[in-house]
Structure 1
Amino acid sequence: MACPPPRPLPTPLFSLEPVHDRKRRWRRILHTWCDGRPVYLRVRARRFACTACGKVFTERLPGIPPWARRSQHAEATLLAELAGRSFRSAAQHTGTHPGVLRRALLRHVPGQVDVRAVLADCPEVVLSVDEHSFRRQDMVVTIACVWPRRRLLAILPDDRVETLGRYMRGVPEDVQSRIRAVCIDLRHAWRRAIQRALPGVTIVVDRFHVIQDANRRVDEARLVEQQVTGRKIPRWPLVKNEEDLTRTQASQLAEIRERHPNVAHFHWVKEQLRAFHRAGSRKEAERILSRIILNAEEAGDAALVLWGGTLRAWRAELVAYHTHRVTSGHTEGVHTKIKLLKRLSYGFRNRQLYVRKMLLAFAPLAWLTASPHFLT
């Protein structure tokens, strides 16, 4: 049996014919750098005419936006150079202008991280919320994932409680369901904002902020006692870990305990808080914390009584440390790198530029999306 003849191909509805335009000039597009020298592409887009409608159009070149002087690869290279440098240093290294880098940063790096992409491989997460200085006393909030992966999630433009609550409420629901705990410092407003935005999520008080607050209270008691008695009381034996004291510092601490029992009482509470965080089990930690609170609230010093009330108000969040064992140590490391970048750039004035510049230093470009920010 003979095979049937092949079917004829359908006639296309339209076809393209090249249009010769000798007036169009060759364009020079910056594409990359080689041994510190710029490498340019010499391109000229072709023009075609549709045989069906007669419309003439220009072809789009892959990787080269219309009317652009730099390819997308060159823009990505500029941003990679800018990630760890100041604007002026990166401009000198690439042979461009700081204004070019600023416009590229604002054009390609939004003020947010794609939270879904960052936490895609994490079935459960623990967040950390802390603040750092933007300019002098002008603070901004840092939000990071500290478990099971350590990743920066957001830098909020200010430290207002409304801004933090709006960001937490804007987190996608599938990500909210995976948040197991949030680590913060001793700030009541943040605790209320997180409890309203993420009901049911455990709040953990960062142990380093607890000891920092304890050292501040001990030093305040030392200054008051020093002013009342007129005797100089050394500071270092009181704020340093007791097991790390030198012989001289240990003798100074023994003298403080003998002459200034009120200051020694503050120091005892601080050391007991350290023992609370070193406890091997949750039950042992609860027993130590109960002893600390009872001893502080029964003291004769009003400041010590207030301290005991603060510990009682944060009892659940303090004990939660022995369930999740997380701290804000990674977030403090992020702040250290941010301080370095601020020094390299001699500070910032534009808040949105600052947020994008810092996100560029921590998050890959694949995690930075052009979708609207949760705060907008």
Structure 2
Amino acid sequence: MSGAEAVFTQALGLTPPWEVERVELKPEQSRIDMFIIYSSNVGQCPVCGAKDQPVHDHRARTWQHLHFFQFEAFVHCDAPRIACTNCSKTTQVGVPWARPGSHFTLMFEALALALAREMPVAVCAKTLGCSQNALWRLIDAHTTRARARESHAGVRELGIDETACRRGHDYVTLVHDLAERRLLFATPGRGAQTLARAASDLRAHGGDPDAIELICMDMSGGFKKGAALYLPNAAIAFDRFHVIQLANAAVDEVRREEATYEPHLRRTRWIWLKDTRHWNQDQGAQARRLNAMRLQTARAWRVKEALRDIYRRRPATDQAASELSRWMSWARRCRLEPMKRLAATIKAHWAGVLHAFGAAHRHTGYVEAVNSLVQAAKARARGYATTSHFIAMCYLI
């Protein structure tokens, strides 16, 4: 073995009987080919593990490797098959640089997965010099293998939310472990049956649906029905993110109606929806000016901010019940229909809203953060061709 072959043998992390036999550089094709040999007549049976079994024959295989400078790199090997005298099976030996069935080396796959998390798969495939379909198969294979190794035995608290696979339709339900901050399960749809599938998947990974103690979710009727049927012992908590989301929607409804005759409200949407702690100097000045104009939108905003303040103070359950009751009384008297409907919605879901204060103030902040990452990835990719691709990306992220 020459100096060049020895360097590539070490670079690939090969040990005897594997070694690089020769390296061919093809500048006109911007390509480098590495040819590996198995320099032994015996090996370990991949099926039963018996050692010193005879090599039956060899099968030619090729794998794409990481680029070598500006050159595309490929690994070639006549991979041996072992004819085992112990189990009487003839099986190909696994190569140390690639997983079974893959057309890429492990190093290539590691880089591809890292890039696919940060850029569209189409761009990633073009950068790496492979097809999009091959890259999607790689992502599917790794996420499937990773999920197969997971244990959900200790899961007790779930965060459940929906996210759109395509604009306005084709929803996917995401089920998270709130304590460990990890995605457990993703499935198409957003109704009660999604929680049936989630419970089945939990059981398949060693978890127990009857052991789930808490679910943080939105006020979806489908989710409530599914939780009652398939996670029967879990307490339901409607956390602050979903409640404030409803409050923001109510304020925006008031603003849109008032903006039809009040020109000062045009292009002010984000002032009313944004957390005041995130206002810049201009937004703060504009908000103070608008608040002084006795606008209906400003009144609705003050009602909403009073609700947000309750959640910021994080009172105990009894105190939260008292403060929320006073807030609902104010909202019902404010003469703004969207805010009155918001108060009625909170009253209708009273137990779940209060439970969010008592359950160690659990919330779906992590779930919402993951959803924003997934939606940002979807925007960069300009959407995904299939729901299965979208779900694979959820797991990868």
- Structure 1 letter corresponding to 2:388: Q
Partner residue of 1:314 out of 339, 346, 349? 349
8 Å Cα contact 1:218-1:238 kept in structure 2: yes
User: 1:272 aligns to what?
Assistant: 306
8 Å Cα contact 1:272-1:288 kept in structure 2: no
User: 2:193 aligns to what?
Assistant: 162
User: 1:143 aligns to what?
Assistant: 175
Deviation at 1:317, TM superposition (A): 1.6
8 Å Cα contact 2:99-2:105 kept in structure 1: no
Q: Which moved more, 1:62-71 or 1:96-105?
A: 62-71
8 Å Cα contact 2:99-2:106 kept in structure 1: no
Alignment CA distance shift 1:335-1:34 (3 Å) = same
- Structure 1 letter corresponding to 2:133: G
Say whether 1:250 aligns with 2:288: yes
Say whether 1:62 aligns with 2:94: yes
User: 1:203 aligns to what?
Assistant: 236
Deviation at 1:82, TM superposition (A): 5.8
Say whether 1:330 aligns with 2:366: yes
Partner residue of 2:216 out of 167, 172, 183? 183
Deviation at 1:350, TM superposition (A): 1.7
- Structure 2 letter corresponding to 1:352: S
Mapped to 2, the partners of 1:46 and 1:163 lie a distance apart of: 45
8 Å Cα contact 1:32-1:77 kept in structure 2: no
8 Å Cα contact 1:86-1:341 kept in structure 2: yes
User: 1:113 aligns to what?
Assistant: 147
8 Å Cα contact 2:310-2:323 kept in structure 1: yes
Alignment CA distance shift 1:294-1:42 (3 Å) = same
Say whether 1:90 aligns with 2:112: no
Partner residue of 1:215 out of 244, 248, 251? 248
Q: Which moved more, 1:215-224 or 1:99-108?
A: 99-108
Deviation at 1:278, TM superposition (A): 2.2
Deviation at 1:17, TM superposition (A): 9.2
Say whether 1:130 aligns with 2:161: yes
User: 2:202 aligns to what?
Assistant: 171
Alignment CA distance shift 1:133-1:43 (3 Å) = same
Partner residue of 1:291 out of 326, 350, 353? 326
Deviation at 1:32, TM superposition (A): 4.3
User: 1:8 aligns to what?
Assistant: none
8 Å Cα contact 2:210-2:232 kept in structure 1: no
Mapped to 2, the partners of 1:69 and 1:247 lie a distance apart of: 59
Alignment CA distance shift 1:41-1:137 (3 Å) = same
- Structure 1 letter corresponding to 2:307: L
8 Å Cα contact 1:28-1:43 kept in structure 2: yes
Q: How does 1:29-48 map to 2 (within 5 A)?
A: 29-30=62-63, 32-33=65-66, 35=68, 37-45=72-80, 48=83
Unaligned runs of 5+ in 1: 1-15, 363-376
Alignment CA distance shift 1:45-1:161 (3 Å) = same
Mapped to 1, the partners of 2:374 and 2:220 lie a distance apart of: 23
| 1:180-202, Cα deviation, whole Å (9 max, x unpaired) | 32211232332222122212312
Alignment CA distance shift 1:233-1:192 (3 Å) = farther
Alignment CA distance shift 1:61-1:322 (3 Å) = same
Alignment CA distance shift 1:276-1:165 (3 Å) = farther
Mapped to 2, the partners of 1:186 and 1:77 lie a distance apart of: 40
Deviation at 1:265, TM superposition (A): 4.6
More strand per residue: 2
| 1:230-288, Cα deviation, whole Å (9 max, x unpaired) | 333534664455686734532420322xxx4x555533421221122123422321111
Deviation at 1:131, TM superposition (A): 1.8
Decide which structure has the larger Cα Rg and report it: 1
Q: SS of the residue aligned with 2:178?
A: strand
Q: SS of the residue aligned with 1:255?
A: coil
Mapped to 2, the partners of 1:20 and 1:233 lie a distance apart of: 83
User: 2:385 aligns to what?
Assistant: 349
Q: What CA RMSD, in Å, does the superposition of the two structures yield over aligned residues?
A: 3.9
Deviation at 1:79, TM superposition (A): 5.6
Mapped to 2, the partners of 1:263 and 1:66 lie a distance apart of: 60
Alignment CA distance shift 1:143-1:66 (3 Å) = closer
Mapped to 2, the partners of 1:71 and 1:220 lie a distance apart of: 53
| 1:109-130, Cα deviation, whole Å (9 max, x unpaired) | 449935952x45xx45422112
Mapped to 1, the partners of 2:74 and 2:243 lie a distance apart of: 55
The alignment's TM-score, normalised by the length of structure 1, stands at 0.72
Report how many aligned residue pairs link the two structures: 331
| 1:55-74, Cα deviation, whole Å (9 max, x unpaired) | 8x644312489995737746
Alignment CA distance shift 1:124-1:248 (3 Å) = same
8 Å Cα contact 2:209-2:231 kept in structure 1: yes
Mapped to 2, the partners of 1:35 and 1:95 lie a distance apart of: 13
Greater relative CO, 1 or 2 (CA 8 Å, sep 6+): 1
8 Å Cα contact 1:63-1:73 kept in structure 2: no
Q: How does 1:99-110 map to 2 (within 5 A)?
A: 99-107=133-141, 109-110=143-144
Mapped to 2, the partners of 1:358 and 1:155 lie a distance apart of: 8
Mapped to 1, the partners of 2:82 and 2:258 lie a distance apart of: 86
